[in-house]
């Protein structure tokens, strides 16, 4: 079993239990969580759900991208089924009838964000590193990530999406991915209190938010990432005179040009959508289109399979990404709607 499910005191406890893979999500893990929610939603003995990760290194590193790559190299059926169930679960967490408490301790990336940051009580620690790093593997932020990123203050979400940078606890609180800061050493005590007294117990463990490094960077971030195109974003970053901005430009140019352009368009469109479900519907279309693009399989190969860190993007430059190729990601998919 890769998910530990149990009822303890007043809560249903979900522990992601693939520590050797930093608790990366498999399709069966998604199904197990969904089945538990079916049971617990109707169970009066369960007053809340608490999510955490085994192994001490993080909550969840994301989806099983090796399996997604294998599916992309085949007929894509596994990835389509996985994403459909995963995105439905993301929406369900956001609308679940009982409080959802997520311990976002350590690494929380991609699919891990989808399981935690749509919840009601999102707890970060000094060890938290929260990210949507999809552009680095030739993909696009999903699991409702563009909904969260698009609603972060100013252009912070655009910066995070295009650089794939990780947020500290302070940054996650600033950007709307988390609610409460609790030192990691106090988590066992917090869990015992929640199991005994319910979610109101969290307040007693909350401490003042640590500094958010991104707050000091808002000036150049808001200016540079407000540009209409990725090319102009890079131009503004390179010419801003801020060392951190120039470093960001270098980071962007190492990512998939195709993914960068689709991601920027997805974020801009997500801001105009009025619900998480509407954004997930858009992400469903975008993900299925990305599945057939060579950059996804190539990005996973370079970063995870061969680990040579030298992806051969197609096309290699931003100028080579055609507008019609970006636009096709937002067309209704042949697999039908998500909802």
Please tell me which residue in 32, 52, 86, 142 is annotated as part of the active site: 142
Provide the H-helix boundaries in the chain. Answer: 27-41, 65-73, 77-95, 111-116, 145-150, 156-163, 169-174, 187-197, 218-224, 230-239, 243-254, 257-271, 276-291, 294-300, 323-327
The pLDDT of residue 217: 97
Tokens 């992601």 appear where? 16
How many helices, marked H, and strands, marked E, lie in the chain?
15, 9
User: 250, 294 in Cβ contact below 8 A?
Assistant: no
d(CA 102, CA 202): 11
Global pTM?
A: 0.96
Question: Per-residue pLDDT tens for 34-92?
Answer: 999 999 999 999 999 999 999 999 999 999 999 999 999 999 999 999 999 999 999 99
Identify the three-state secondary structure at position 126. Answer: coil
Compute mean pLDDT per 10 residues along the chain, 339 residues long, and list them.
Answer: 94 97 97 97 96 97 96 97 98 97 98 98 98 97 98 98 98 98 98 96 95 97 98 97 97 98 98 98 98 97 96 97 97 97
Give, as one character, the DSSP assignment of residue 130. E
Please tell me which residue in 12, 62, 110, 111 is annotated as part of the active site: 111
Contacts of 306 (CB under 8 A, 6+ apart): none
Please tell me which residue in 32, 52, 86, 134 is annotated as part of the active site: 134
Q: Is 62 a catalytic residue?
A: no
Please tell me which residue in 12, 47, 58, 63 is annotated as part of the active site: 63
CA atoms within 13 A on the CB side of 197: 10
Tokens encoding 44: 């009066």
Q: Is 111 a catalytic residue?
A: yes
Q: Where are the beta strands (DSSP E) in the chain?
A: 3-8, 11-16, 48-53, 58-60, 100-104, 107-109, 121-124, 129-131, 180-181
The DSSP code sequence of 285-330 is HHHHHHHTSHHHHHHHIIIIIS-------SSSSGGGS-HHHHHGGG
Question: Per-residue pLDDT tens for 6-45?
Answer: 999 999 999 999 999 999 999 999 999 999 999 999 999 9
First-to-last CA distance in the chain?
29
d(CA 15, CA 59): 9
């Amino acid at each position: 079993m890769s998910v530990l499910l149990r009822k303890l005191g007043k809560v249903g406890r979900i522990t992601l239990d693939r520590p050797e893979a930093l608790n990366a999500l498999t399709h069966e893990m998604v199904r197990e969580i969904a089945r538990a929610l079916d049971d617990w939603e109707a169970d009066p003995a369960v007053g809340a759900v608490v999510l955490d990760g085994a192994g001490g290194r993080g909550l969840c590193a994301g989806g099983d991208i090796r399996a997604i790559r294998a599916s992309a190299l085949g007929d894509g059926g596994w990835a389509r089924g996985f994403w459909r169930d995963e995105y439905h679960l993301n929406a369900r967490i956001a609308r679940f009838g009982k409080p959802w408490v997520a311990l976002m301790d350590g690494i929380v990336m991609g699919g891990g964000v989808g399981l935690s940051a749509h919840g009601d009580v999102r707890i970060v620690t000094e060890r938290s590193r929260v990210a949507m790093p999809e552009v680095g593997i030739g993909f696009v932020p999903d699991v409702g990530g563009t909904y969260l990123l698009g609603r972060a203050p100013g252009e912070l979400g655009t910066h995070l999406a295009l650089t794939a940078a990780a947020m500290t606890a302070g940054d996650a609180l600033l950007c709307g991915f988390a609610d409460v800061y609790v030192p990691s050493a106090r988590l066992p005590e917090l869990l015992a209190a929640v199991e005994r007294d319910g979610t109101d117990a969290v307040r007693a463990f909350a401490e003042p938010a640590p500094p958010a490094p991104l707050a000091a960077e808002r000036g150049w971030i808001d200016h540079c990432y407000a540009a209409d195109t990725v090319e102009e974003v890079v131009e503004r970053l390179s010419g801003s005179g801020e060392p951190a901005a120039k470093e960001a430009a270098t980071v962007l140019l190492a990512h998939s040009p195709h993914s960068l352009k689709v991601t920027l368009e997805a974020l801009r469109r997500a801001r105009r959508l009025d619900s998480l479900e509407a954004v997930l519907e858009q992400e469903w279309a975008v993900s299925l289109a990305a599945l057939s693009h060579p950059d996804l399989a190539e990005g996973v190969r370079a970063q995870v399979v061969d680990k040579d860190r030298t992806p051969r993007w197609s096309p290699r430059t931003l100028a080579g990404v055609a507008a019609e190729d970006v636009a096709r990601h937002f067309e209704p998919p042949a697999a039908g709607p998500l909802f």
